[in-house]
Amino acid sequence: MKSSSRAPLAPTLAPALAPPLANANAAGLLWASAGSTPDRDAIVERDRTVTYAALVAQASGVVEALGAAGVRPADRVAILLNRSARAAAAFFGTVATGAIAINVNETLRPRQIEHILDHCGASVLLTDSSLLAMQPRALRTTAHVIDVASIPEGASTSPVPRVGGDMAQIIYTSGSTGLPKGVTITHANLWAGVRAVSLYVGVTADDRIASLLPFSFDYGFNQLLCAVGAGATLVIEDSPLPQQIATTLREQAVTVLPCVPPLWLQLLTAPAFRDERLPALRAMTNTGGKIPTEAVRRLRAAQPHAQLFLMYGLTEAFRATYLPPDLVDAHPDSIGRSIPGGEILVLREDGTRCAPGEVGELVQRGPTVAAGYWNDPEATARVYRANPLRAPGTPDAERVVYSGDLVRMDEHGLLYYEGRRDRLIKTLGYRVSPDEIADALYASGMVVEAIVGTEEDDARGTRIIAYVVLVEGATANALQRFCKMELPRYMQPARIETRAALPRTTSGKFDLRAAQAVAASVSA
């Protein structure tokens, strides 16, 4: 177990994470680790363990199956599988051929799956017949369907040569409105993201990294990449029960635990996590939303020996910032600084830099910035733009990503998330962050989960509505009284709606639109 308060330096990283030279194919992460440590455990599932030698043999079988199906470099191959070694082999086998991989969330239904297959023009769908049998109807698609259970292991061959700018993956974002968009990720993006996170978290071959999130979610997928890139072990746990998750963390001696805020809040209800130390655990990482400040303190109290990395990222650029663990106690509400190799700009609407403390849009530069949206030049031009701060005379070649997220930077360079540009609430003449209200709700000690939405109101402009899961014995009236004591009038929820559980998106984030839809159906 590591006890240092600082992440290890680059020399501790595995050879697989060295910058690619002649062949930038991201499948090289697996092939390098299998070559150096073939007998090491790569993936642990509930009923089996797969070594690196076995995983590369499975991926090689996928290479052969795709070749037999006529797949060529730059073709799109969709992967609809439960999070597993098979899903990992399907991804690495796909990119090893030079094709572009699309991880499809296994909880989606035919309509959403068909949209993704059609939108990306997938020529092949790698899936499992038992998983397809669980769908309410047969898929309507022109993609050639291959059951991965029928693919035998293959003989290992080198991945097809790629350069960094070649496309490796399309990630479909859940989005807040409309149909999902496909973010196009290059091989260079994948290498850069893995190296950056592995560097500051200090991932080594000795780590056992928990996998609790879908591979279709960029954060969940990066746990696979970081584990394979370092020659570490990925421990897959698919139970939704926090007590079972905590048991697996202990039994499997997990060293790195990545979660999103709703999952952290659930784990804090489990005595096996909240009240008992997990001695092997050395690092906890968060992204996918801001953890309430009170929950940060509870996490630190639950596992005080483990470093806590508070991170922020967006699918369009993977990872943007992280807060070093030694700053978490003093700045639990900060999202930190730029990841290694990147730069964060906080800009006004006119493209100039914001002063310290001034709220502006987070704009990201660096090697993790994706290529754009698949088959959507309009959206790409709106979000991926020229760097407005480039020196006069500099060619207009670099693209930065405009996140739509509002942040402020303090005088020490630490960033603080204020909310989405399109989520700030205008009420009673004030601009209000829903996350700030949620923080107050959590601070009451009465709330397990909370999200904040709005309703139109002629008098206020917008009425604030809170959707909460209460701790046992708490009441909405008591929570409302707390809000009246702790929040100014313009920030107080006009109504608090209690739920047994809050809905989530396929990536594990709270789903505000679904919560509002339930409220509308109840009131109707």
Q: What is the pTM of this model?
A: 0.87
Q: Which secondary structure element, helix H or strand E, spans residue 146, and what is its range?
A: strand 144-147
**Residues 490 and 428 sit within 8 Å (Cβ to Cβ):** yes
Cα–Cα distance for residue pair 225/185, rounded to 1 Å: 14
Torsion of CA 236, 199, 33, 25, to 10 degrees: 100
At residue 397, the pLDDT reads 87
At residue 320, the pLDDT reads 93
Q: DSSP alpha helices (H): ranges in 183-307? A: 187-201, 218-230, 242-251, 261-267, 271-274, 293-302
At residue 338, the pLDDT reads 97
Instruction: Concatenate the DSSP letters of all residues of 54-123 into one string.
Output: HHHHHHHHHHHHHHHTT--TT-EEEEE--SSHHHHHHHHHHHHTTPEEEEPPTT--HHHHHHHHHHHT-S
Cα–Cα distance for residue pair 157/252, rounded to 1 Å: 32
Cα–Cα distance for residue pair 287/336, rounded to 1 Å: 12
How many other C-beta atoms are found inside a 10 Å radius of the C-beta of residue 52? 24
At residue 1, the pLDDT reads 35
**Residues 33 and 55 sit within 8 Å (Cβ to Cβ):** no
Instruction: Concatenate the DSSP letters of all residues of 415-473 into one string.
Output: EEEEEETTT-EEETTEEE-HHHHHHHHHHTT-EEEEEEEEEEETTTEEEEEEEEEEPTT
Both structure tokens of 298 = 């509870």
Chunked into runs of 10 residues, the chain (524 residues) has average pLDDT values of 37 52 89 96 96 98 98 98 98 98 92 93 97 93 97 94 97 66 96 95 97 94 97 96 97 97 92 97 92 92 97 91 96 95 96 96 97 95 95 92 94 91 75 84 94 81 91 96 87 94 88 80 44
Cα–Cα distance for residue pair 109/506, rounded to 1 Å: 11
**Residues 400 and 323 sit within 8 Å (Cβ to Cβ):** no
Residues in the chain: 524
Cα–Cα distance for residue pair 328/494, rounded to 1 Å: 33
For the CA atoms of the chain, what is the radius of gyration? Answer: 23
At residue 156, the pLDDT reads 82
Cα–Cα distance for residue pair 12/201, rounded to 1 Å: 12
**Residues 41 and 235 sit within 8 Å (Cβ to Cβ):** no
Q: Which secondary structure element, helix H or strand E, spans residue 311, and what is its range?
A: strand 307-312
The full set of domains in the chain, from first to last, is: 10-238 (3.40.50.980), 423-523 (3.30.300.30)
Identity (one letter) of the amino acid at 465? Answer: I
**Residues 256 and 207 sit within 8 Å (Cβ to Cβ):** yes
Collect all residues with Cβ–Cβ distance below 8 Å to 301 and sequence separation of at least 6. Answer: none
Instruction: Judge residue 476's burial from the number of C-beta atoms within 10 Å of its C-beta, 0-12 exposed, 13-18 middle, 19 or more buried.
Output: middle
DSSP category for residue 325: G
Cα–Cα distance for residue pair 400/384, rounded to 1 Å: 6
Instruction: Concatenate the DSSP letters of all residues of 355-418 into one string.
Output: PTT--EEEEEESTT---EETT-HHHHHHHEEE-TTSPTT--TT-EEEEEEEEEEE-TTS-EEEE
257 has which bridge partners? 284
Q: Which secondary structure element, helix H or strand E, spans residue 516, and what is its range?
A: helix 512-523
At residue 519, the pLDDT reads 61
Cα–Cα distance for residue pair 70/520, rounded to 1 Å: 49
Question: Largest Cα–Cα distance of the chain, in whole Å?
Answer: 70
**Residue 124, helix vs strand vs coil:** strand
C-alpha to C-alpha distances, 289 to 174, 360, 508, nearest whole angstrom = 14, 18, 10
